[in-house]
Amino acid sequence: MAVGAGGPTRHFIEEFCSQMGGLVLHVPIKADRVENCLGVKVGCVVEVKDSGNYAKIQRKAGSGTKWWVKYYNDEREERLKRNKFTVKKYPIKLFDDAFRENSESSSYFPMRDDHFESQMAHLDPYDPGISLKELIKKAKVYYRAIGRVMLHVLVDSEYTLSSTIMSQLLRNVLLRGVQPQSPEYDQEDLVKHLAEIGERGVLDKATKGNLGSGCTFGDYEVEAEIIDKFNKGDKFLAVDAKEGEKVSEKTVQRHDLITADNFKSTFVYLHMLASRQISLESMLDGLTFGGKFNIQRIFSAVPLQFVNKYAFEKPNYDVQEILKIIEPKYVNDDEQVDESMLEDRKTFIEEVFKPSMKKLAEKSSTFLQEFLFFVTGSSIMPFLETSPDYRISIVFADSLLDSDSLPVGRTCFKQLDIPLFHYGNDPDVLMEKLNISVVLGGSAGFGME
């Protein structure tokens, strides 16, 4: 059983991090065309014709025109032909799945600005219920809110963000104000940060050269936008049209040969960052509280490694790290404890609890994260060098008198309640009861989806 108030906040942050990559904007569809299956994708909200009930597209059912849907009213799944439902809302993603194909540990990366335009062009035959301008306005609200949640976590060392929520490239750009074309951004680090995002092509080409003396990219080509964003305002103006061609107010697309000389300015800056101004400017607006809080001034004064440890790292904890933050409370308030009882409780901690934690951690690679979640509401600890007072208390609870009672996690206080008579110092009983509590507590959570 888990009880708490601070715990739900920590759990909200963890769920926010894990679900951020799946955020979508739903575009209302006024005129679904059943004969055109291009209007259907996972995440679409549909109305089932026979019942009038609404459902959500879950996945394709084979290679034909059937889809699995999940009803909102009773969570029942059903396989339906395309002509049995009409699309009412179409999902447009805010983060790019392609960047996470190579590794589950890759960080989320926002969609390019032209993604929203292309998606709305795709939906034009279906009479979308909002305009491109309205869609971008909604997207900015979402991205700004994401930045605001990050700011809340960053200014409170009690909380920690998952490392997948922001790539090291964006941590440098948004939090430290270090742009890729800056001499401060080492090119070898930059290539590694791109590989972390999922730009494997860049890494493969770069590693063929000598990173110490500059990258050699050979004939690697990438479609890059040639823009002059900051000199020309909000409009993307072509600045690299061929001689004799009229320079238009449309983005010029061409294949750029990536070399060591233009890698930072052309590929990384233009292709990766300037093409995502909708998301990055809005996230920065949230991170700075509308320009009122200069977060870059704070984090630019410290190395990126410190920022990683302070707010983002999610290490694979070992049991000794967890035991270091365990702080037993041997005597409760207003409790009379004689010397023998006090020694018995100390014996329990040193000879029963700590060895049992080690055995449970050896049996399950996820136990320590599950234990942290059960007791604190989050499976991530803050950076202890900046949160030296972060502790998990163990209390011998007089409210748990029954020998069959399970340990209780009080996430508000980061506290583990052990039955008053602590299972007669029997390690097998403790491991059984603690494991049950941790598993049940982790499956119950706080009902956040």
Q: Evaluate if residue 253 carries a pLDDT over 60.
A: no
- pLDDT(6) > 90: no
Q: Between 369 and 56, whose confidence is greater?
A: 56
Last residue of one domain, picked from the residues 286, 312, 338: 312
216 lies in a domain? yes
pLDDT at 185: 87
Q: Would you state the pLDDT for residue 181?
A: 84
Among 288, 312, 336, the domain boundary falls at 312
pLDDT-derived band at 138, boundaries 50, 70, 90: very high
Over the stretch 313-343, which tens digit does the pLDDT of each residue have?
665 788 998 999 999 999 887 788 888 889 9
Residue 53 has pLDDT above 50, yes or no: yes
pLDDT classification of 71: cutoffs 50, 70, 90? very high
% pLDDT > 70, the chain = 77
Angle, to 10 degrees, between the axis of helix 367-376 and the axis of helix 354-363? Answer: 120
Residue 337 confidence (pLDDT):
80
Whether the per-residue pLDDT at 34 is higher than 70: the answer is no
Q: Is residue 255 part of a domain?
A: yes
**Is residue 388 located within the same domain as residue 427?**
yes
Query: What is the chain's alpha carbon radius of gyration, rounded to the nearest angstrom?
Result: 27
- Provide the 3-class DSSP secondary structure of residue 86: strand
- What is the domain extent for residue 199? 144-312
Per-residue b or e along 293-305, where b marks 16 or more CB atoms closer than 10 Å to that residue's CB: eebbeebeeeebe
pTM of the model: 0.72
Chain CA centroid to CA 361, Å? 25
Interatomic CA distance for residues 280 and 278, integer angstroms: 6
Q: Is the pLDDT of residue 222 over 60?
A: no
- Residue 5 confidence (pLDDT): 46
Domain termination residue (choose one: 128, 143, 158): 143
Do 163 and 80 belong to one domain? no
Domain identity same for 31 and 97: yes
Average pLDDT, the chain: 79
Backbone angles phi, psi at 267, to 5 degrees: -70, -60
Q: Measured between alpha carbons, how far is residue 255 from residues 39, 102, 223, 265, 331 in Å?
A: 31, 24, 5, 15, 71
pLDDT digits (tens, 9 = 90+) for 83-129: 899 999 999 999 986 555 555 557 889 999 999 999 999 888 888 99
Q: What is each CA distance from 430 to 220, 255, 341, 360, 375, in whole angstroms? A: 59, 64, 18, 11, 16
Give the pLDDT confidence score for residue 289 in this predicted structure: 92
Does 324 share its domain with 393? Answer: yes
- The answer to whether residues 286 and 149 belong to one domain is yes
Compute how many other C-beta atoms are within 10 angstroms of the C-beta atom of residue 336.
Answer: 7
Tokens of 279: 């998301």
Q: Half-sphere exposure (CA, 13 Å, Cβ side) for 336?
A: 0
Nearest to 264 by CA among 376, 169, 122: 169
Q: What letter does residue 16 receive in the DSSP assignment?
A: H
Answer yes or no: is 18 within a domain: no
State whether 267 and 408 are in the same domain: no
Q: Binning pLDDT at 50, 70 and 90, where does residue 41 land? A: confident
Q: Would you say residue 3 lies in a domain?
A: no
- Most confident range (mean pLDDT) of 42-56, 209-223, 236-250, 380-394 is 42-56
Q: Do 222 and 170 lie in a common domain? A: yes
Phi, psi (deg, nearest 5) at residue 138:
-65, -40
Parallel, antiparallel, or unpaired for β 415-419 and 408-410?
antiparallel
Kindly state whether residues 159 and 201 are assigned to the same domain. Answer: yes
Q: Are residues 133 and 281 in the same domain?
A: no
| Token pair of 295 as six digits | 């977060």
Say how many residues make up the chain: 449
Q: Does 236 lie in the same domain as 94?
A: no
- Total domains, the chain: 3
Whether 267 is covered by a domain: the verdict is: yes
Q: Which amino acid is at 49?
A: K
Residues forming beta bridges with residue 226, ordered by sequence position: 252
What the block records as the tokens of 256 is 């750029």
Residues 303 and 377 in one domain: no
Assigned token pair, 212: 């110490």
Segment 49-57 mean pLDDT = 94
pLDDT exceeds cutoff 70 at 220: no
Give the integer Cα–Cα distance in Å for 319 and 360.
10
Ranges of beta strands (E only) in 252-357 are: 252-257, 326-329
Within-domain flag for 13: no
Taking the C-alpha atoms of residue 140 and residue 144, their distance in angstroms, rounded to an integer, is 6
Residue 43 lies in a domain: yes
Here the CATH number for the domain that contains residue 128 is 2.30.30.30
For the stretch 13-32, pLDDT in tens is 888 988 898 899 999 998 88
Average pLDDT over residues 280-289: 95
Residues 292 and 427 in one domain: no
Is 266 part of any domain? yes
Amino acid occupying residue 234: D
Average pLDDT over residues 259-267: 68
